[in-house]
Amino acid sequence: MDYSNSDNNVEEDESLAEEVCKISYEALLKARDMIKPGVKFLDVAEATESYVKDKGYEIAFPLNLSINNEAAHYTPSYMDDKVFGEKDLIKVDFGAAKDGYLGDCALTVDLSGEYGKLVDATKEALENAVSIVKAGRKVQDIGKVINDTFDKLGFRPIENLGGHGVKLHELHAEPFIPNYDNGDDTLLEEGTRIAIEPFATLKQSRGLVTETDVAEIYSFSENIAPRLPAARNVLNKIIDKYPSEPFAVRWLSEGIKSKFELYSGIRELEKVGAIDSYPVLAEVSHGMVAQTEFELLVEKDSCKVLTKV
């Protein structure tokens, strides 16, 4: 996911970061276990997000359930009746939050049974990347390991997606962690948290994603007074409940008279610049996409995987 809002002049609490990552991964596995043909996307999202909130945590970003050639940023809409199909390849991406600490982890569910090698390639690439992480490692070296793994297994990376640093209130911080050797000689620093997320597609695909016209995830940008009363109502909700982290449109439905009122308000707010959208990202040649992601703590001679139960 690509969301950020920085406030980083604070010494980080490593134990709380681990706690948030642990609950993030627990929730991710619960989402995975719910995904079956015929099950509603909305039911999975609501159950997963409620699990985190019931445990006393907040949500770092809405549950992503991106299918097939979609790589990221699909979350169910308000009153969404979409269900998983028997041939769907689903990227499940999620994170919990507490006191500004953010979790981030992802896996892929292959309901078709046809893309197991693609999914396994992202797992192997992540394992190989994790094995070389340590303080002083160049980020381009991580990208090279990921790309070499994909190439060996007959797949290719999504070149314009990758991992990232994780800081307080900033899910996508520096450095960017590429999925191929992009020549970046930035060095990893001891004590920092990063997320590595190999995205793979088929060898014959372009290996690039682009924004679609679908968006259900937004973040607050600026308190600009909109013209429409419906938009002012929605903006007040956003400022009150989600001034920092990203939100799903469906989270704003309480007290709204209709779906039309909710979405007309969102469109107006986006138009005037009060909110920013995170459109669904899809592979440009319609190639299938798989993803696996862990959040890590960089240590002197190795790293600690945080998003594991």
Do 159 and 273 lie in one domain? The reply is no
Query: Per residue in 76-100, is it b (16+ CB within 10 Å) or e — as a string?
Result: bbbebeeebeeebbbbbbbbbbbeb
Q: Are residues 181 and 256 in the same domain?
A: no
Q: Count up the domains in the chain and report the number.
A: 2
In whole angstroms, give the CA distance from residue 306 to residue 309: 9
Percent of the chain exceeding pLDDT 90 equals 91
Encoding tokens for residue 63? Answer: 């549950």
pLDDT in tens, 133-160: 999 999 999 999 999 999 999 999 999 9
Task: Give pLDDT, residue 308.
Answer: 82
3-state secondary structure of 8: coil
At 174, which CATH number?
3.90.230.10
Asked if residue 118 and residue 193 are part of one domain, the reply reads yes
pLDDT, residue 309, reads: 64
pTM comes to 0.94
Least confident of 25-39, 111-125, 191-205, 246-260: 246-260
Which residue is listed with tokens 């682009």? 210
Q: pLDDT higher for 308 or 71? A: 71
In a domain, 62, yes or no: yes
Full domain range(s) for residue 71: 14-212+286-305
Where residue 246 sits, what CATH number does that domain have? 1.10.10.10
Q: Choose the weakest-confidence range: 7-11, 72-76, 239-243.
A: 7-11
Residue 244, domain member (yes or no)? yes
Catalytic residue numbers? 93, 104, 164, 172, 197, 293
Residue 216's pLDDT is what?
98
For residue 202, being part of any structural domain is answered with yes
In a domain, 250, yes or no: yes
Inside any domain, residue 23: yes
What is the pLDDT at residue 224? 93
- In sequence order, the β-bridge partners of residue 106 are 93, 293
Contact 181, 144 (CB under 8 A): yes
> Residues 265, 125: one domain?
no
How much is the pLDDT for 6?
45
Same domain? For 144 and 157 the reply is yes
Q: Is the confidence at residue 2, as pLDDT, over 80?
A: no
